[in-house]
Amino acid sequence: MGQPTHDTTTAESQTPNTSTPTEAAPQPDPTGSTEASSTGAAPHAPAPTGAAAMFANDRASQHLGIKVDDHGPGWAQCSMTITEIMTNGHDITHGGYVFLFADTTFAMACNYPGSITVASGGDIDFLKPTFIGDELIAHGREVIKQGRSGIYDVTVTRGDEIVATYRGRSRTLPPRTP
């Protein structure tokens, strides 16, 4: 797999999968080998890329209990429950945690299979406070992708209320040289 084959896409052309939610899972060895190296990776196999590979190594998001409910090229849905450690001195959720949650959802939406895509910037608007025990859902979608750059919007909700909106800017890195 290489770079995405499209030069420009929009989220309207992407349809979320409504089947069983996916979890980050190890990628199968494309060579068919069943041997593993001391690092756990298949010998001579390229490192997995894309959203599942990124999330499998995202210790910060996993530590916070962020779950990837489902994702596909150009879109993602994640969930997170607010815990006591995430609150600030006002007993509301610290904005940094809401930003990290939205940013993780953005990362899941912009990491196409075969690519390594990172944030070049992101902005968030906090619209309503959240509290311990609140279940947040984030929906991310591609607005536009041109070449190696993209723009993605993430809406963070609690039930039917929008609590934050995030806009992320992405950049797909060139393939790594061996």
CATH of the domain at 76: 3.10.129.10
Checking if the pLDDT of 27 tops 60, the result is: no
pTM of the model: 0.74
Q: Tell me how crowded residue 67 is: count the other CB atoms within 10 A of its CB.
A: 16
Angle among Cα 165, 49, 150 to the nearest 5 degrees reads: 35
In a domain, 114, yes or no: yes
In a domain, 158, yes or no: yes
In a domain, 29, yes or no: no
Number of H helices, E strands in the chain: 3, 7
Q: Tell me how crowded residue 29 is: count the other CB atoms within 10 A of its CB.
A: 17
What's the pLDDT tens digit per position in 147-169?
A: 999 999 999 999 999 999 999 99
End-to-end C-alpha distance for the chain, whole angstroms: 16
Please give the Cα distance from 167 to 123 (Å, whole number): 5
Tokens found for residue 45? 């196999």
Q: 93: which DSSP letter? A: B
**Amino acid type, 78:** C
User: What's the pLDDT score for residue 47?
Assistant: 65
Domain that holds residue 112: 8-13+48-172
DSSP string for residues in 68-87? EEEEETTEEEEEEE--GGGB
Alpha helices in the chain (DSSP H): 51-56, 59-63, 95-110
Predicted confidence band at 45 (pLDDT cuts at 50, 70, 90)?
Answer: low
Tokens found for residue 13? 């052309």
In a domain, 23, yes or no: no
Domain count, the chain: 1
